[in-house]
Amino acid sequence: MSTVYLNGEYLPAEEAKISVLDRGFVFADGVYEVIPAYGSHLLRLEQHLQRLDDSLDGIRLANPFDHMQWAAILEEIVKLNSENNEDLSIYLQVTRGAAKRDHAFPDEIKQTVFVMATPMSAVPAEQLENGVAAITHDDIRWRYCHINSIALLPNTLMRQVAREAGAAEAILYRDDQVTEGAASNVFIVLNGRILTPRKDECLLPGITRDLILEIAADSGLDCQEADISMQMLREAEEIWVTSSTKEILPVTKLDGQAVGNGKPGPVWRDMLDRYQQYKDKLRTGAAQ
Ligand code: PDD
């Protein structure tokens, strides 16, 4: 049985209860983070906590904890859920707490803080061997997609459209420009160069995305932030989607058409190797 953290207590998931008046439940008034833990080491903790600060600033909600306090809670949750030595995905959520239903903020705010751990399932070998299918979808979300908001209804609707089309992800576009995936960032390889959309309010600044850019720069690979049009997406030799839980997934079919030769590409393979090396270092505490 998993142990979760809720408002100062560590308790079995089944015993954790929140008020039906919680503004997270009623208005989706809150933000979240998903942080992988490999061999009990949290990946890029400082960057995740910085993004949490940015998301909280974005919704004008004070962070109830400083980074040291967050680290203590997250490390305790990792420890309490590590009996099987599995890699974990740590989910944390902060909402504006329980209050009488009124759209404007309550005068007194007591944030609800929730943290849980789930075993991180390895990406299936079949997906690494053959890649996955993706569809394209008009980005129907609001204009503050850089905030890691718990209001994920548009993302869930678009991911479901993908699933019903037999695809693993929906790649989103706004005004003919690729933004990101329904729950991932997007990279393409075009004319041998690795490209990903620039950070702005149209996409979540993914921690995996930044790590890939860093690994590419350290390895001397040609990797740049750029505007990516739908035509560039369709002409790409390779497409990848990246996230904390899916790492780097090769997309080999887009809207039913083969991407490149329809197999995961060599640039992806090289990047995945480098990412695995990074994870191995993290497991031994030699990277953060
Ligand atoms: N989501 N863009 C969106 C819309 C996302 O939901 C995610 C990840 C990313 C990638 O961010 P990162 O590399 O920091 O995981 C980009 C998570 C994992 C989720 O909602 O489960």
Note the pLDDT of residue 84.
86
Q: How many Å apart are CA 191 and CA 240, to the nearest integer?
A: 15
pTM above 0.95, yes or no: yes
- 135 and 255 Cβ atoms separated by less than 8 Å: yes
pLDDT of residue 64: 98
Residue nearest to atom 9 of ligand 1 (CA): 184
**Residue 10 is inside which H or E element, if any?**
strand 9-12
Which ligand 1 atom sits closest to the C-alpha of 244? Answer: 15
Q: For residues 55 and 90, give the distance between their C-alpha atoms in angstroms, rounded to a whole number.
A: 17
User: Which protein residues touch ligand 1 with a CB less than 6 Å away?
Assistant: 34, 155, 180, 183-185, 204, 206-209, 242-245
Please state, as a whole number, how many other Cβ atoms lie within 10 Å of the Cβ of residue 58: 15
Q: Whose CA is nearest to atom 5 of ligand 1?
A: 183
**Across the chain, what does the average pLDDT equal?**
97
- Beta carbons within 8 Å of 83's beta carbon, 6+ residues apart: none
Say how many Å lie between the first and final Cα of the chain, rounded.
28
- Residue 1: predicted pLDDT: 78
| Tens digits of residue pLDDT in 204-214 | 999 999 999 99
What digits encode the pLDDT tens for the residues 105-146?
999 999 999 999 999 999 999 999 999 999 999 999 999 999
